[in-house]
Structure 1
Amino acid sequence: MPNATQALGGRDMGVGEKGFEETLKPEVVEKGFCAVCGACVSLCPFGVIELRPSGPELVDNCLKCGNCYSVCPRYELDAEAIERFAFGRPRRPDEEFGVVRKMLLARSRDEEVLKVCQDGGVVSTLVKHLVSSGMAIAAVLSGVSLDTPWLPEPRIAINGQEVLECAGSRYSYTLNLMSNVGTSALLGFLEGRKAAFVGLPCQVAAMRKIQMLPVEELGWHKAFGPIIGLFCTETFDYDGLVKLMREKLGLEPGDVVKMNIKKGRLYFYPREGEPKAVRVKELADLVRQGCKVCTDFSAELADISVGSLGLEGWNVVIIRSELGEDVFNSALKADLLETRPIEEEPQVIDVLRRLTEMKRKRGEKRS
């Protein structure tokens, strides 16, 4: 039985000239560029690609529909075309952080969010507002496994409580683009409303490519929105993080209630006692291979991009699209957010610039 995404069909059911073996395998997987986002697996209408620890693998005859490489964020990514599609224009030469309509600082006024959020709670507040108000039929998010401490897993939230259960940051990768994409799209199609999506820069790029699939009757461009992107330097191997907690810090993962990166250190907050930390530079061996070629720090293709950049209790928000501005203004009108001019914290722009340049140079060097 096909999953929800397969039921929605592929880009071209006819046999083409190129397939997985001619594109993603030699150009992405074998070169170590794969983000392991799962987009190619989710969007394969024939179910012949499976995700293994090392990346996607062809497990049956490829019919060369073209979906896999059309949605891959590491294969022939045309950022300018995506910007025209999502924002109506490409970035200007002076826009060092991508297309920007507005940059500001914000934090949640929602008491439920403030009890569980990582920093300013902006993402949780926006998504909770979207699903609670009916602006979105559902939201594709990441949560934590109920059985395995700190193991990230993809979730679909259809109400405010389910959004709250996904609050906070995980520093291991979550496969938000697996079956959740198809299920949420199907919900949106059936209800005539969009599904919101929250993800890292690589996942955002894949979602944009999915939206741009040239199958008008499927309406992928109408199935999702807004796309909320998270600032990201890199993610770490889950097993390696667990080993670090136990062997270096003497912590059991089940006793850790929060992780946070501040001023170059990854902090682990136990249920009892003082937090423990390691320098992020010491985690180089735990960085996922696909992260090392990424050049996007601030999710430059999202409708709204959000991060903290060391501000206690506040988020940095970059509004990039008209849709993103409409959603943010709706939350403001509902008195769910408090804002400040970003100029009040001039060091934030310096940090954003430094991290943006660092990630671009690192990615370009390795790719």
Structure 2
Amino acid sequence: MRFWLGGYTADMGGHAAGVGVLVAGEPAAQSPRGSLTFAGTAAHAESPSWLAAHPTLDVVYATLEERGVVQAFRRTGEDTLAPLGKPLATGYATCHAAIAPGAGSLVAAAYGDGTVTRIAVNADGSLGAAVALASTTDPYGFEAENPPASLAAAGTIDLSAAAAALREAAGPEFAHLVPDYDNPEPVETLPVVEDPNARVSRAHHTTFLPGGLYATTDLGFDLVRFWRGDTEIQQVALPKGSGPRHAVWHPSGHLYVATEYSAEVYALAADRDGTWRIVTAVPVSRETSFGVDFPAEISTTADGLFLHVTVRGSNTIATIAVLDGGARLEGVSLVESGVDWPRHHVLVGDTLLIAGQRSDDVVSLSVDARTGVVGQLLYRAPAPTPTALVPIFD
């Protein structure tokens, strides 16, 4: 089985040359069980850190993160791709793109400036017109409703006239002590220093939901935003500092969101009137540590009984059981991922593949279908700074 492999190139400190190809087992098989081989570069590109495949065409979309663009590629051979149209600007540090189930549009998220862009997808898979969606504000930010007006703006005090009157009243002996507002001393202007702890919008992920909805995460503002077309219909604020990163839709009707900073999984669901709310939340694992562990990807098994979350820092992967019709989550296990900085993973059948961004490799591990627990490491292959895996179903 083949996989397209996203990665970081030299412009972002990586070793990849573009979109790569990974072969797992027999190339023509539909199962990844078997030895892993990095088969080279399918298309040269600058840091294609995330990849999304068209549901019906041999077209793949890559976010060229440092350039802040999305580029479409068409498949030209078993292991080769060629650009399809020109790259489309989508915001600083575009890190994720997702294509709608009907392939009518694609949504890109930019980590650097929080931009969410919705792009029309043409019949041949090429990218069409783009619309930058509405920006948002920090739900935990402070904005004064009635900022104090300056005295000068109020226009009630003439400082020059007042100083002249005061000098006259003080007399010649003390007049020099009153400031001369007609000829003020030059004032040194201090440089403005940006607060390193300031919160900024950081769009990170898009999940398509039934009924024409989609949800985007804002890791910087702790928001999950719900959209229909180009219109935002609701926001759900997670706890301050949680950092919602990636999400996965579950057939029970729940949206599960993994948080990068607080290392938790939140379950969101819609009420009968369509209003989304938080149902429950659990730690990714009771063994993870705040400030040390940073969850990356979340996925669900085909039967919906378990979630898997890769955790950077401890370099582990957690299994979480889905209970009570999706309304309750319970940690099952936390095991070694076998790589350094497990950036992304994908489950195909009973085999989990994990991209080790810092260890420059990809591994495959077995998954117990009954317990959901990730088992033994099966195979490993060197791969240059991998960041995303997309299975190719020929």
TM-score by length of structure 2 reads: 0.22
Could you say which structure has the larger radius of gyration?
2
**By percentage of residues, which structure has more helix?**
1
